[in-house]
Amino acid sequence: MTQQKYRRFTPAEVVLHALQAIIYITLFLTGFILLLQRTFQIDWISPMSLSILHRIMGIVLIAFVLQVFFTSLITPSFRILWSTIVEALKWRPSDIIWLIKAPFHFLFHRISLPPSGKFNPGQKLNILVVLSTVTGMSLSGIFMLVVPGALLAWYIHIACFICGSILFAIHLYLSLVNPPTSKSITGMITGFVPLQYIRDHHPLCLDEPVPEKNHVHLHRLPAILLGIVVIIILLLGIYVFGPDRFVLQGQQWAQSRGMLSLMPGQLTLSHAEVITERECLKCHNLKSRPASEKCIECHEIIAERIQDSSGYHGKLTGPCTDCHTEHQGPDADIRSLDKVSFNHQQANFHLSEKHASLPCEKCHKVQLPELSMAKTTTKIRYIGIAHDTCLTCHKNFHQDSRTEECLKCHISNSWQREDLTFDHNRDSRFVLRGKHITLVCEKCHNTSSDSGDKLFRLYDFGMECKDCHTDPHAGQFEQKCNDCHSELDWTSPLKKSFHTVDSGFPLDGKHAALTCEKCHIPAKDDSRLSSAKFAGLDTKCRSCHEDPHNAQMSHSCSTCHSEQGWKGMNLLFSHNKHSVFQLDSLHAGLTCDACHINTPQATRYRPIEKHCELCHNAQTLAMQGIMPPKQKLFESDPHWGRLACIDCHDTNITHQSTENYAARCISCHNTLYGKLFYDWSKIFLEYNSKAASLLENDIIQQLNKIRFHNLQMAAPIWKDAINNNIKQTDSGTR
Amino acid sequence: MSLEKYWMLFVKSHVWIAILLCALMLIGCKSFDYLTKIENNFPVAETCGDCHIDIYKEWSQSAHARAFLSPDFKTITQDGSLADCIGCHTPEPQLTPTVPLPRTIYLKDGVTCSTCHLADGKMLGPVQPTGAIHPHPIEVAQNRFTDAAFCGRCHQGTYHQWQETSIKLKKTCQQCHMPSIVRKVTQSKGGISELIVSMEKQITLRKHTFMIYPQSEDQETFELHTAIEEKHIAVELINHLPHSFPTGNFGVQIGVMLVQFFDADNNELQTRRYEFVQELKTNLPSGQSKKWTWDMPQSAAKMKIQLLRHGHSKEKQVELLNREVPLP
């Protein structure tokens, strides 16, 4: 018999209902299994995967809701959803009566319900509860994501879960099991239901007159059967789980007032001993993350550290929960200490290198029970151990009660001499001077104790020279060492005090720079200077110096020479006074060997011809940027061809000063060029001093001829010469 | 519903997603804070050049970019270690009435963008920005950038000469050495930057070439008169620059007047060379003229006059004037 059909739901509603069903069922199942596993401590499906799936579906739900909302604003076919909500909000007094009567109608056939429209009040209630549950779940879910550990979000989520689950169960029962109403399931599959169904259950939708009584047969049997099946499954479940365990878990759950279901894992043992399951708020807050203030109420040492900004914790910012995660089970050590990567220098005790190479257990021992609030745990104590008595680990090598405070002299990084904070001159009665400083300690301080151990005696030593040194002068000077010698060196102060004042030969000028052995020759069989003859030597020049002038001059060396030096400004020789050739200003600036040439016998001083071939080739070539012999490698100097030599060089004066040159620069350019001249003069001086030990003298002379004649050429050539020669000497071709 | 209507429905319902994504993208775009911070970091020219592409190209070939890297400068100042020089060659962005303070970082950029354009965490410029999006704070300081005194902080000698110039000739430094050009302040490299740059308008800006330009039709920098008599030639050169020729207190600037005489077959008969050098007081001050009178060489058919300017190296010279005068 073909029944007449009534369109109950539009295709849009059907599709959306199906999508919602998938989302809600997934969320319900994942959430419920998570809750069950936590409550009964079951390890069935990985909580991580359930949680991730639950969160993803939650986001999908929110996106889905927003999607539907925006689409409904635009398209007419979704407007039906708005009219559904409007319907659900229309409540009349007869709806309340319907709700009161409905449970009795379920039990007693006779009680009839007022007629309903498209949705009966139960369905309207369901719609409203679903709306509020979805909102509540979504908001509390986001709250949980954003503020982990806030308990209020969990309370709301669980409350919504309970409401939603009850109505979900009723919804499923009425649509799938209860025969009178399960006929309407086609409404959510095809969109059509039998017309008779509408007449019976939603008469106000139709234009027909409403019958006084409805003729719905009530089937109580399915409900009873279903109830029995559910109870059997539950009993089976308890049997499989273990009745004793079930009772125990139940007791624990009751003790915790249900909080056991919320915990993602058990507390670590030391916390579990002090905090019971009910006292979540000892660490958690309702609306915010677990606050550090609650942690440091018990962990007083940490609190001190944070207040003083000392130690490892004193330097950290952020809440405790950033590093310490609880609820990992009773055996977990939530201190998350990685012994390999932990930087001890951040803690209060600075580990010197030596201490750092020790394994942690050398100093960090197991915690004594009386020091902890949790009585039964014995973990290793890291923070708050004493660290200022060396002798607990180290032996006292000085074996002297005057040396108990190690840190007076030693540092924690090493025992070595260089690292001692002990200063012999400041802290002992014997002042170390000169060579005494360079000695190793063991030279004076090293004895064995009575038992044969190595002992480092510090006190009670003799302090006269003869206590350690023998007299090499065989009594020439009696034993008054300090008259001539000091601890600096046996030889160093001698010339200054000894020779000039106490001997008959004053050491002037260059003589003062000589080593003693030059004149006081040591005895052949004994190479030490102290064995030489000191008194009674000849003091004439010729007794030490040969005449290099090959008898060209008079015998009296001191007419021209002094001990200050043979040459240069030490030469007392005045060309104009002592020779027949008068030097003019320019010639006076020349070195002697420009005119006085070397011969095999001696430098030729007299007589010589007037050779005045002065070639300043190198300077003029440099100005043109030409390196001898003829390579033009550089740009000409800008002054070349524009200035004459005498514009810079004054031939009427000797030793033209730097100031004079600089003033000439400034007269055409500006003051900064004068400064540039000074700067470069200094640079050339530095180059010269560097080159003195690296380059041959004639190369240095050539380089010095360039200088300001072509600055752009001089700079790279000097650099090149010094750098290249450094390379040469390194390879051993000195 | 038809397929088209379904499609429109789909699009319309997803508009909000698109809006959200766009907002996220724009928020997520990198912050441009670093462009105006001078602390440990400092916007280098290359960073500015990521958006101001044309200006960067011009600047990077200019003498300002070479202020520190120039080999002549490096040699003379021992790699920039002589302190008196680096205040102008690697200046700090801080505005000073006279010589700027030297910087300590990114020296190789020389006189860089930030030197003139960065002040107090804002980028200064002479014109109002026309784009809607400013990646960095912008302040307009037209007076600063159009004033010759701004350049004169470093180029003191030239600025002093400029101050003494007659008002008739007194173009500012920027007018000749940074010629006008109509373009946008930034250029795009494609992608999102194309979108941002397209919002800007093309306005009159200045090229950052900082160059010496040869004589052109719209800039009469030198006036050259030649008077030919029977046996003599008189040549007069008048300097219409607002500063002397050549100018500059540091480095090498040589102005050269090269006069070549050719015969009818283009063989060179004679060359005369006159140098203008400021340090030798032979430079040509602004508004003044220099006259030469020479004997005309026999069989001379053509006279070529060139006015050149070169620095330390003769090879890099700029030709400022080139004229050929036929001779009777």
pLDDT, tens digit, for every residue of B127-154? 988 887 788 888 999 899 999 999 999 9
Model confidence pLDDT, tens digit, residues A120-163: 888 999 999 999 999 999 999 999 888 888 889 999 999 999 99
Model confidence pLDDT, tens digit, residues A331-384: 777 887 777 888 887 787 777 777 778 888 777 766 655 555 665 556 777 777
Which of B9, B32, B29 has the alpha carbon at shortest distance from B191? B29
* A75–B75 CB contact, under 8 Å: no
Q: Which residue of B has its CA nearest to A679?
A: B82
Give me the DSSP letters along B209-253.
---PPPPBTTB--EEEEEEE-SSEEEEEEEE-SSS-BS--SSS--
Q: Which residue of A has its CA nearest to B310?
A: A638
Give me the DSSP letters along A586-617.
HHHTS-GGGTS-B-SSSB--SS---------H
Say how far apart CA A50 and CA A38 lie, in whole Å. Answer: 12
Q: Could you give the percent of chain A with pLDDT greater than 90?
A: 15
A494: in domain = no
Cβ(B177)–Cβ(B202) below 8 Å? no
Tell me, what's the pLDDT at A160? 93
Q: Is the same domain home to A556 and A662?
A: no
* A711–B75 CB contact, under 8 Å: yes
Burial of A304: CB neighbours in 10 Å, binned 0-12, 13-18, 19+: middle
B41 touches chain A (CB under 8 A): no
Model confidence pLDDT, tens digit, residues B222-242: 999 999 887 888 999 999 999
Q: Which residue of B has its CA nearest to A643?
A: B280
SS3 A6: strand
Tell me, what's the pLDDT at A195? 87
Would the pLDDT of A645 be above 80? no
Q: Mutation test of the interface with chain A: which of B16, B81, B314, choosing the one with the most A Cβ atoms within 10 A?
A: B16
Q: Residue A598's CB: how many other CB atoms inside 10 A?
A: 9
Interface A–B counts its CB contacts (< 8 A) at: 50
Residues in A touching B84 (Cβ below 8 Å): 672, 675-676, 679
Q: Residue B312's CB: how many other CB atoms inside 10 A?
A: 19
Domain C-terminal end among A164, A191, A219: A219
Going by C-beta distance under 8 Å and a sequence separation of 6 or more, which residues neighbour residue A374? Answer: A269, A270, A271, A273, A274
A488: in domain = no
Interface of A with B in 13-52 (CB under 8 A): none
A716 touches chain B (CB under 8 A): yes
Residue range A100-115: mean pLDDT, rounded: 78
Would the pLDDT of A722 be above 80? yes
Residue range B112-119: mean pLDDT, rounded: 88
| Residue A666 to residues A94, A660, A672, B249, Cα–Cα distance (Å) | 112, 10, 8, 11
Model confidence pLDDT, tens digit, residues B17-34: 778 777 776 665 555 666
Tell me, what's the pLDDT at A436? 84
Angle between helices A79-89 and A121-146 (to 10 degrees): 110
Tell me, what's the pLDDT at B305? 93
Range A592-600 contact pairs with CB under 8 angstroms and sequence separation of 24 or more: A592/A567
Tell me, what's the pLDDT at A544? 76
Residues in A touching B249 (Cβ below 8 Å): 669-670, 672
Q: Which residue of A has its CA nearest to B76?
A: A712
* B13–A74 CB contact, under 8 Å: yes
Residues in A touching B254 (Cβ below 8 Å): 638
**Element (H or E) spanning B205, and its range?**
strand B203-206
Cβ(A412)–Cβ(A355) below 8 Å? yes
Nearest to B280 among A71, A635, A642 (CB): A642
B11 touches chain A (CB under 8 A): no
Computed from CA positions of residues B220, B313, B73, B108, in that sequence, does the dihedral angle turn out positive or negative?
positive
Q: Is the same domain home to A50 and A159?
A: yes
A715 touches chain B (CB under 8 A): yes
Residue A248 DSSP class:
H
Going by C-beta distance under 8 Å and a sequence separation of 6 or more, which residues neighbour residue A100? Answer: none
B274 touches chain A (CB under 8 A): no
B16 touches chain A (CB under 8 A): yes
| Residue A318 to residues A328, B167, B226, Cα–Cα distance (Å) | 21, 68, 85
Q: Is the same domain home to A49 and A123?
A: yes
Say how far apart CA A86 and CA B285 lie, in whole Å. Answer: 93
Residue range A410-436: mean pLDDT, rounded: 80
A487: in domain = no
Total of domains in chain A: 6
Residues in A touching B1 (Cβ below 8 Å): 77
* A712–B254 CB contact, under 8 Å: no
Side chain identity at residue A347, one-letter code: A
B314 touches chain A (CB under 8 A): yes
Task: Quickly state the pLDDT bin for A433 (edges 50, 70, 90).
Answer: confident
Q: Which residue of A has its CA nearest to B15?
A: A70
A204: in domain = yes
* A74–B12 CB contact, under 8 Å: yes
Q: Is the same domain home to A355 and A427?
A: no
| Residue A627 to residues A441, A467, A635, A695, A710, Cα–Cα distance (Å) | 60, 68, 11, 18, 11
SS3 sequence of A503-534: CCCCCCHHHHHCCHHHCCCCCCCCCCHHHCCC
The average confidence (pLDDT) of chain A is 79
Give me the DSSP letters along A15-35.
HHHHHHHHHHHHHHHHHHHHH
Q: For the sheet containing B138-140, what is the strand order?
A: B118-119, B122-125, B138-140
Burial of A214: CB neighbours in 10 Å, binned 0-12, 13-18, 19+: middle
Nearest CA to CA, how far is B283 from chain A (Å)?
A: 13
Going by C-beta distance under 8 Å and a sequence separation of 6 or more, which residues neighbour residue A267? Answer: A275, A326, A327, A330
- What the block records as the tokens of A457 is 């005696």
SS3 B267: coil
Going by C-beta distance under 8 Å and a sequence separation of 6 or more, which residues neighbour residue B76? Answer: A676, A711, A712, A715, B82, B85
A86: in domain = yes
A711 touches chain B (CB under 8 A): yes
Model confidence pLDDT, tens digit, residues A36-77: 888 887 878 888 888 899 999 999 999 999 989 888 888 888
* A67–B13 CB contact, under 8 Å: yes
A669 touches chain B (CB under 8 A): yes
- What the block records as the tokens of A548 is 């290099």
B27 touches chain A (CB under 8 A): no
Say how far apart CA A160 and CA A154 lie, in whole Å. Answer: 10
* A716–B75 CB contact, under 8 Å: yes
A683 touches chain B (CB under 8 A): yes
Q: Is the same domain home to A190 and A276?
A: no
Model confidence pLDDT, tens digit, residues B268-326: 888 988 999 999 899 999 999 999 988 888 888 899 999 999 988 888 888 888 999 88
Four-point Cα dihedral A408, A412, A418, A422, nearest 10: 0
Residue A291 DSSP class:
P
- CATH number, domain of A91, equals 1.20.950.20
Q: Is the same domain home to A41 and A109?
A: yes
Tell me, what's the pLDDT at A140? 93
Q: Is the same domain home to A724 and A582?
A: no
Q: Is the same domain home to A312 and A374?
A: no
Radius of gyration of chain B (CA): 27
Tell me, what's the pLDDT at A276? 74
ipTM: 0.83
* A668–B280 CB contact, under 8 Å: yes
A647 touches chain B (CB under 8 A): no
Domain that holds residue A453: 390-463
Residues in A touching B280 (Cβ below 8 Å): 642, 668
Say how far apart CA A193 and CA A175 lie, in whole Å. Answer: 13
Nearest CA to CA, how far is A719 from chain B (Å)?
A: 10
Tell me, what's the pLDDT at A306? 86
* B13–A635 CB contact, under 8 Å: no
Cβ(B270)–Cβ(B235) below 8 Å? no
* B279–A715 CB contact, under 8 Å: no
Residue range A3-30: mean pLDDT, rounded: 89
Residues in B touching A706 (Cβ below 8 Å): none
A631: in domain = yes
A558: in domain = yes
| Residue B19 to residues A126, A408, A562, A706, Cα–Cα distance (Å) | 35, 72, 99, 73
Q: Is the same domain home to A727 and A666?
A: yes
Say how far apart CA A627 and CA A438 lie, in whole Å. Answer: 52
- What the block records as the tokens of B259 is 């006069």
* A672–B313 CB contact, under 8 Å: no
* A676–B76 CB contact, under 8 Å: yes
Residue A176 DSSP class:
I
* A642–B12 CB contact, under 8 Å: no
Range A140-149 contact pairs with CB under 8 angstroms and sequence separation of 24 or more: A141/A55, A141/A58, A142/A62, A145/A55, A147/A287, A147/A288, A147/A289, A148/A289, A149/A284, A149/A285, A149/A289, A149/A290, A149/A321
Residue range B244-260: mean pLDDT, rounded: 92
Phi–psi pair at A179, nearest 5 degrees: -55, -45
Tell me, what's the pLDDT at A729? 44
Say how far apart CA B127 and CA B139 lie, in whole Å. Answer: 9
Range A337-346 contact pairs with CB under 8 angstroms and sequence separation of 24 or more: A337/A382, A346/A311, A346/A312, A346/A315
Nearest to B279 among A66, A67, A668 (CB): A668
Give me the DSSP letters along A430-477.
S---THHHHS-GGGTS-EE-TTS-EE---S----SGGGT---TTTTTT
Q: Which residue of A has its CA nearest to B312?
A: A638
Tell me, what's the pLDDT at A135? 93
SS3 A265: coil
Question: What's the whole-model pTM score?
Answer: 0.45
Computed from CA positions of residues A587, A588, A594, A595, in that sequence, does the dihedral angle turn out positive or negative?
positive
Interface of A with B in 70-109 (CB under 8 A): 70-71, 74-75, 77
Tell me, what's the pLDDT at A586? 63
Most confident region among A12-21, A96-105, A579-588, A615-624 by mean pLDDT = A12-21
Lowest mean pLDDT among B11-20, B72-81, B268-277: B11-20
A495: in domain = no
Model confidence pLDDT, tens digit, residues A481-532: 777 777 777 766 555 556 766 677 777 788 877 877 788 777 776 677 777 7
Q: Are strands A5-7 and A192-194 parallel, antiparallel or unpaired?
A: antiparallel
Q: Is the same domain home to A374 and A402?
A: no
**Element (H or E) spanning B276, and its range?**
strand B268-276
Q: Is the same domain home to A696 and A599?
A: no
* A638–B254 CB contact, under 8 Å: yes
Lowest mean pLDDT among A235-249, A332-346, A375-389, B252-266: A375-389
Going by C-beta distance under 8 Å and a sequence separation of 6 or more, which residues neighbour residue A505? Answer: A499, A537, A539
Cβ(B280)–Cβ(B272) below 8 Å? no
Residues in B touching A717 (Cβ below 8 Å): none
Side chain identity at residue A139, one-letter code: L
Tell me, what's the pLDDT at B205? 92
- Residue that the structure tokens 């197991």 belong to: A366
SS3 A632: strand
Going by C-beta distance under 8 Å and a sequence separation of 6 or more, which residues neighbour residue A595? Answer: A608, A611
Beta bridge partner(s), residue A598: A603
Q: Is the same domain home to A142 and A213?
A: yes
Q: Are strands B138-140 and B122-125 parallel, antiparallel or unpaired?
A: parallel
Q: What angle do CA B40, B44, B47 make, to 5 degrees?
A: 115
Nearest to B312 among A77, A635, A715 (CB): A635
